[in-house]
Amino acid sequence: MTFTRYAIYFAPPTEAAWGKFATSWLGWDMESGTPATQPEIPGLNITGLDLAAVTQVPRKYGLHATMKPPMRLADGQNLEALRLACADLAARQAPVTLEGLHLARLGRFLALRVTGDEAALNALATACVRDLDALRAPVPEAELAKRRAAGLSPAQEANLTAWGYPYVLDQFRFHVTLTGKLPKASLPAVEAALTEHLIPLLPSPFEIRDLALVGEDSGGRFHMIQRYALTGDGAA
């Protein structure tokens, strides 16, 4: 399969119960590259919306947290070079252990956020951004303009210019997106459904033991290419 862009994700272990449920919730399985059957959830009563509509926006990205945002490869670079760079990165980074995950509102989106100290996690994300950036092609001007039109802080503008994406480094916030932007009236019902069905499955502690290299197909859906175990001590 030919991919248009690549990214580095955190993706839950394939055997994790919470990951299996949240994958079906979103309706796209990156591991198999196929649609996932969405669950029937009694009590999810959203006027004018169903689960397919709730998850339409994040579905194509799969269940993940972005560590290195989607990028095109620079001239002279290829997937094999990216694989080698990912292997080298993972060999130098240690696994990260965190207290856990919790459900959070990010504006009118719902996502999983980390509980407790995020310093080691943020350092890992920074390494992903910096260490793989030599393989990244410049972002097209139209995409830069679209980002700027949304309104960026000076720090976000600096990141966009340097790294091709505003929400990296000091602006990074680890999150596993579970919905698109919801009407305010629908938030409580969706939140209640996730609280009942997903929250009891969340791990404590929460561990990140590998990084996932993923690719975007011509239809905009992301697929798992390879996982890379974190086997280093975190030193540069």
Q: What is the pTM of this model?
A: 0.95
- Quick check: 186 and 109 in contact, CB under 8 A? no
Beta strands per DSSP E along 136-230: 176-177, 206-208, 210-216, 222-229
Reported as a single tens digit per residue, the pLDDT across 91-125 is 999 999 999 999 999 999 999 999 999 999 999 99
User: For 49, which DSSP code?
Assistant: B
Phi/psi of residue 100, nearest 5 degrees:
170, -165
What pLDDT, on a 0 to 100 scale, did the predictor assign at position 46? 63
CA 27/CA 225 separation, integer angstroms? 19
The residues of the chain scoring below 70 in pLDDT are 43, 45-48, 234-236
What pLDDT, on a 0 to 100 scale, did the predictor assign at position 47? 58
CA 105/CA 181 separation, integer angstroms? 10
Domains present along the chain, CATH in parentheses: 5-116+175-229 (3.90.1140.10)
Vertex 80: Cα angle to 19 and 219 (nearest 5): 55
What pLDDT, on a 0 to 100 scale, did the predictor assign at position 170? 96
What pLDDT, on a 0 to 100 scale, did the predictor assign at position 48? 65
Residue 131 burial (CB count, 10 A)? 18
Residue 173 burial (CB count, 10 A)? 14
What pLDDT, on a 0 to 100 scale, did the predictor assign at position 60? 97
What pLDDT, on a 0 to 100 scale, did the predictor assign at position 136? 98
The C-alpha torsion from 15 through 98 and 182 to 43, rounded to 10°, is 60
